[in-house]
Amino acid sequence: MSETFADLIACEDALMFVNAAITSTGQREFHHHPGEQHLSLEFLHAYMLENYREIYAAALALDVNDHNAAIIVRNLLVRAGGAGAEQRRLEGRLIARRLKLMPRQRVYRLIRELRRLKVNNRRTRAIIRDWLAGRADPAFDAVKYRAGVKTAIRHAHVEPDGELRDFLFAPHRVKAYETPIFERWRRAHYEKAALYELPYTVAEGFAAKHGVPREVFLERIAPRLTRLERLRLQESAREAKAGAVAADLTVMPLTRLASYVLSLPLDDRADRRAELTEALRTAARRVAGAARGSWGRVAAVLDDSHSSTGSGQKRRRPLAVALAAHYLLEALAKEYVPLWTSGRTDELLVYPFGPTPLGERILDALEARPERLIIISDGWDNAPPGLAADVLRIWRTRLDTGHRLAAGQRVLIAHLNPVYDADDFDVRRLSPSVPTAGIRDAEDLPTLVELARFAEGRVGLAGLRAHLDDRTARFLGESA
């Protein structure tokens, strides 16, 4: 036996943490309150930092969500003394690369947290200075995230030059700015026309100050909206009769687009069927890329039960992941059989309803003789309870032994769970015989199916470390 018991435990711990860091955002879930989520997640981070610091840092190169990436960065900087010089250099590179990929507002929030914790060592200041120096348009950041930029500059001991210093610390002393966006901000205090040349979130405050009607504001600010702002505002703009705010759905990210579709009333979805279906399929084909049609025969069990409602903070998120995964699997498969737990066949009109008969749907899926079976569910199998685990156990141990398939290969089964279970510090599993991985965005599905194989126990800690090393090298641009 090449793997020791300690190695097996380390592999399990690492996978448990990665699942949590992909799915949990510390917010309320259908079965758990935000307080439970927060305490469970903070414990996992502290445990991994103390016992597996290298693996913990390498998680920055994986598909962990931005909430957990920020916690990892914070903890690595707070506990800098726990790593050697070489490890600190690697961590610095991982942190710098991850910060470039994170939304700016989240990075500024992280810097405020570091300031609150009084983490201001030389490495922290250097990381913040390098990140600020890499901003493509510091003047834009200063207008849109003024408080965050001031905090970052003060904390990193950066001395801004010229108009940037004046704008941040004495904006009203300047009679006129040479920097265009600064001058537009100055004029917007007394001139309505100037506010329409500012970013939407800044202009919205000035519009309220000047008493501009909502429909007029949305109509005129439309050219300044980002694609995601257009998506968020499209329905409210329609209610305000500001028709100019129209999003190009075909360029939207797949999971976010699925969330938008599910936010629409069923009648609207039916009326816009062709438009919405084409947008979802276009986004799915873009994600699939060169892998389109390469997955052979695929069956999917997709959870649209009542628990896929999510929560007030993550409204319909589990169902959105399932809907987006449906279109992505359709693009990846050569032959595709989708099975919703409700029994519905019109995916565009799905909504959270009813129990979760996962066992029955898995039986139906296996009857289709797929090469791959993908299950997207929170794992709360309750109609009847435990049937899914029994079906999967019997299939693995009695039926799917390899010789029954023409190609001599077992059916690849993967369970992807979009919901973190705070009680178990992991995503809820259906069966020990089937690998489970957490998922937040359907775009990560192909990578997570690969990661799930480590959960089967066939690839031990050495294989997991090799996988993390490869992902780290690719993340840092060290391999093709």
Q: Say which CATH number the domain at 444 has.
A: 3.40.50
Helix segments in 347-439, DSSP class H: 358-367, 387-394
Predicted local distance difference test score (pLDDT) of residue 400 = 64
In a domain, 448, yes or no: yes
Instruction: Tell me the C-alpha distance between 109 and 116, whole Å.
Output: 11
Residues 265 and 217 in one domain: no
Residues 358 and 387 in one domain: yes
Instruction: Tell me the C-alpha distance between 440 and 324, whole Å.
Output: 11
Cβ distance 313 to 28 under 8 Å?
A: yes
Phi-psi category of residue 477: left, alpha or beta, with phi > 0 → left and psi -120 to 50 → alpha: left
Residues 353 and 405 in one domain: yes
Lowest mean pLDDT, pick from 148-157, 253-262, 397-406:
397-406
Is residue 312 very low, low, confident or very high in pLDDT (cuts 50, 70, 90)?
low
Burial of 412 (0-12, 13-18, 19+ CB in 10 A): middle
Residues 322 and 196 in one domain: no
- In this predicted structure, the answer to whether residue 402 has a pLDDT above a threshold of 60 is no
Final residue before a domain boundary, out of 181, 212, 247: 247
Residues 225 and 337 in one domain: no
In a domain, 266, yes or no: yes
Is residue 19 very low, low, confident or very high in pLDDT (cuts 50, 70, 90)?
confident
Specify the number of domains making up the chain. 2
Cβ distance 95 to 60 under 8 Å?
A: yes
In a domain, 157, yes or no: no
Residues 234 and 366 in one domain: no
How many C-beta neighbours within 10 Å does residue 104 have? 16
Amino acid identity of residue 213, one-letter, is: P
Per-chain mean pLDDT for the chain: 85
Instruction: Tell me the C-alpha distance between 398 and 435, whole Å.
Output: 18
In a domain, 405, yes or no: yes
31, 52, 443, 120: which is closest to 17 by C-alpha?
52
Residues 234 and 271 in one domain: no
Residues 341 and 361 in one domain: yes
In a domain, 25, yes or no: no
- In this predicted structure, the answer to whether residue 27 has a pLDDT above a threshold of 70 is no
Q: What percent of the chain has pLDDT over 90?
A: 45
CA quadruple 401, 379, 466, 462: dihedral positive or negative? negative
Final residue before a domain boundary, out of 201, 226, 247: 247
Residues 220 and 286 in one domain: no
How big, in percent rounded to 5, are the helix, strand and coil portions of the chain?
60, 5, 30
In a domain, 328, yes or no: yes
In a domain, 361, yes or no: yes
Amino acid identity of residue 427, one-letter, is: V
Rounded mean pLDDT of 228-238? 72
Q: In what order do the strands lie in the sheet with 297-302?
A: 335-340, 297-302, 372-376, 412-417, 436-438
Query: Residue 412: in which H helix or E strand, if any?
Result: strand 412-417
Lowest mean pLDDT, pick from 19-23, 112-116, 186-190, 382-386:
382-386
Burial of 478 (0-12, 13-18, 19+ CB in 10 A): exposed
**φ/ψ (deg, to 5) at 382:** -140, 15
Instruction: Tell me the C-alpha distance between 251 and 228, whole Å.
Output: 10
- In this predicted structure, the answer to whether residue 406 has a pLDDT above a threshold of 50 is no
In a domain, 347, yes or no: yes
Is residue 3 very low, low, confident or very high in pLDDT (cuts 50, 70, 90)?
low
**φ/ψ (deg, to 5) at 300:** -130, 135
Give the position of tokens 């969500």. 65
Residues 207 and 356 in one domain: no
Rounded mean pLDDT of 322-336? 95
Residues 340 and 435 in one domain: yes
- In this predicted structure, the answer to whether residue 269 has a pLDDT above a threshold of 80 is yes
Lowest mean pLDDT, pick from 61-65, 114-118, 437-441, 476-480:
476-480
Range of the domain at 201: 189-247
- In this predicted structure, the answer to whether residue 178 has a pLDDT above a threshold of 80 is yes
- In this predicted structure, the answer to whether residue 277 has a pLDDT above a threshold of 90 is yes
336-to-123, 274, 372 alpha-carbon distances in Å: 51, 20, 10
Predicted local distance difference test score (pLDDT) of residue 380 = 81
Half-sphere exposure in the Cβ direction for 432 (13 Å, CA): 3
Cβ distance 44 to 56 under 8 Å?
A: no
Residues 323 and 431 in one domain: yes
Final residue before a domain boundary, out of 225, 247, 269: 247
**Tokens read off for 395:** 């299939």
